[in-house]
Structure 1
């Protein structure tokens, strides 16, 4: 078991955002969190990495309790987060944004370098010396994912990777996920059921901070009533 959340409760002040969330990911899986806006999808990812620590329940990564760890220690264990707002360094170039994110865990052989990123993703190679603040939304999203890879993640968390992007860029993000899932365990959030079913093997549906359904992509694809009830799909 790579990731396990057990009865996780998270708060923003007195607002009870996650109300007993339990999810599991096996190594090599690609899983999506679905739900309407405000259901708790982004909060779940932030809780995993320690940005909004759980007040109750546990978060385990590769059998290690990481519930109370600060975000930088979670990252060093091999959990990478690509946040919804991307968090670029706008005044640094594409290359510099990649270089500052580089981290190699002791005792491991690095799999990613700036050169490999540029070999794999021509778009970023062409933008090597452009400042991140001058990139389009799609270019920034590609850079955000690539920057996360520089930390050598075993588990990659993608928060709304398609938010605000044109359809052609959404297709590129989908292709990127398909490539990464060959070597990396992925948990992502998305508003699009179609996108999720195309790229994830399983899905958890959240409603008001609770997991209301755990299903395979195939089962969800065939269950229109479930989609209507929790995802407002016509």
Structure 2
């Protein structure tokens, strides 16, 4: 479904991604791991065109999306939940869902406001509350739910658990597990334990490069790789 081939992304003159290559098959849940500044978030932003790659190629369902604008990439069927959530603070929960509604031509809709509120009771209870008055965990659930209103084939989640209470982290994990039946997922996370619990495979980034890839099961017991690339220096 997704092929990221040797992409190089810059912030000004800073060479953030230095030849990143990853791939996802339809139906997979894959995580990106690495220390702060390794390039995890930049990889997601490059896929959706927020920080376009200067070199390399990104293919989605066989189509080259490297040079497309972010809105064009979204209309191909890729959804992003950014690290800072970016909910519309002055709109209610229900309005946040409604404004994000987009049905791609030829796609049978799976998600509606009614289904979202039915499946996520937390949001149903808050349907008429302004998003700016929600807690961080509530905003995160709303951001994920809002992304589903675009009927994504591929969902990108950037640090979905950052700053959240353990009970909310558990709910985010359950949400990822529930979505894997219908949606391909690529996510980043600082918690190795969480990531390997909910992903099938993992890529480890360091200084803008992929330095290791493995199944989650293999990586769980790989103490040497944990210490080399994932432990806090």
Answer whether TM exceeds 0.5 for this pair.
yes
> Are positions 1:112 and 2:134 aligned together?
no
How do residues 141-220 of structure 1 correspond to structure 2 at under 5 angstroms?
141-220=140-219
Question: Who is 2:137 aligned against?
Answer: 138
Cα distance between partner residues in 2 of 1:179 and 1:233: 31
Any conservation in 2 of the 1:43–1:52 contact (CA below 8 Å)?
yes
How do residues 13-28 of structure 1 correspond to structure 2 at under 5 angstroms?
13-28=12-27
CA deviations 1:6-63 (Å, max 9, x no partner) are 0000000000000000000000000000000000000000000000000000000000
How do residues 87-106 of structure 1 correspond to structure 2 at under 5 angstroms?
87-106=86-105
Shift of 1:82: 0.1
Shift of 1:197: 0.8
Shift of 1:106: 1.1
> Are positions 1:59 and 2:94 aligned together?
no
SS in 2 for 1:4: strand
Shift of 1:144: 0.1
Unaligned runs of 5+ in 1: none
4+ residue runs over 4 A deviation: none
> Are positions 1:86 and 2:85 aligned together?
yes
CA RMSD, Structure 1 to Structure 2 (Å): 0.9
Any conservation in 1 of the 2:35–2:232 contact (CA below 8 Å)?
no
Any conservation in 2 of the 1:84–1:160 contact (CA below 8 Å)?
yes
Shift of 1:233: 6.5
> Are positions 1:71 and 2:104 aligned together?
no
- Number of residue equivalences: 233
Cα distance between partner residues in 1 of 2:166 and 2:106: 41
SS in 2 for 1:163: coil
CA deviations 1:63-98 (Å, max 9, x no partner) are 000000000000000000000000010000000000
Any conservation in 2 of the 1:28–1:184 contact (CA below 8 Å)?
yes
Q: For the structure 1 residues 222 and 233, does the alpha-carbon distance in structure 2 shift closer, same or farther, using more than 3 Å as the test? A: farther
Cα distance between partner residues in 2 of 1:64 and 1:109: 21
Cα distance between partner residues in 1 of 2:107 and 2:38: 37
TM-score of the pair, normalised by structure 2: 0.99
Unaligned runs of 5+ in 2: none
> Are positions 1:41 and 2:40 aligned together?
yes
